[in-house]
Amino acid sequence: MSYDIKEFDINEQTLIGDIAKKYPSIREFLIELSPKFEKLKNPILFKAMSSKATIALVSEKSGFEVKDLIDMITNHIKEKSI
């Protein structure tokens, strides 16, 4: 199966919550991605943050470049879709 990054419609303004609705495994992925996201294990905190946190904000907090973070997320989605 081939994918195009556009089919995931993820950009720097995409909310993490919108991604999590389609791909619930994104929460664990973010927690594994950076120790800075350890607090997201708390479902209440994740729900509150996911409705406000954009890819740009997650990028800033994690130290990853926006493009790299989008690539990592789309790769994660692809792996989980196989």
14-22: Cβ within 8 A, 24+ apart: 14/54, 14/55, 15/50, 15/51, 15/52, 15/53, 15/54, 16/49, 16/50, 16/53, 16/54, 16/55, 16/58, 17/47, 17/50, 17/51, 17/53, 19/73, 20/46, 20/50
pTM, full prediction = 0.84
Confidence of residue 7 (pLDDT cuts 50, 70, 90): low
Number of domains in the chain: 1
pLDDT value at 1 more than 70: no
pLDDT in tens, 28-68: 999 999 988 998 999 999 999 999 999 999 999 999 999 99
Domain encompassing residue 56: 5-81
